[in-house]
Amino acid sequence: QVHLVESGGGLVQPGGSLRLSCAASGFTISSYWMNWLRQAPGKGLEWVSTTKSGDNKYYADSVKGRFTISRDSAKNTLYLQMNSLKPEDTAVYYCATSPRLRLSSRKDDYNYWGQGTQVTVSS
């Protein structure tokens, strides 16, 4: 049974950093494209970043240069290092899998989801 559990969210001041984790079970993360998406209060789902293996890493323009996606195969865990955080990064962050490369904000393009972790950027 596929299971994704995010952690690492919290309250941080503007300019601060957080690292989100997504622990996967029931499958090997290298078998799927692994994605981070977010949903801000009152807004729709927004794609953030995607990776599968090696240097295949993709970022939304809004986070490029500030966020870094990575994975640890031994731990079967996906990460999102978030630096230089801004108030507009406040959202619930989700990890999700997709069988194909989907740089998309459409929920139907992803097959498994975690429960989400709240990130709040505020002074």
- pLDDT tens digits along 107-122: 999 999 999 999 999 9
pLDDT of residue 54: 76
Q: What is the pLDDT of residue 20?
A: 98
DSSP annotation of 108 reads G
Mean pLDDT (the chain, rounded):
96
pLDDT at position 53 is: 81
Q: What is the dihedral of CA 37, 39, 43, 47, to 10 degrees?
A: -10
- The span from the CA of 94 to the CA of 77, in Å, is 13
**pLDDT tens, residue by residue, 30-54:** 999 999 999 999 999 999 999 998 7
Query: CB of 43 within 8 A of CB of 95?
Result: no
Residues 6+ apart with CB under 8 A from 101: 33, 50, 52, 58
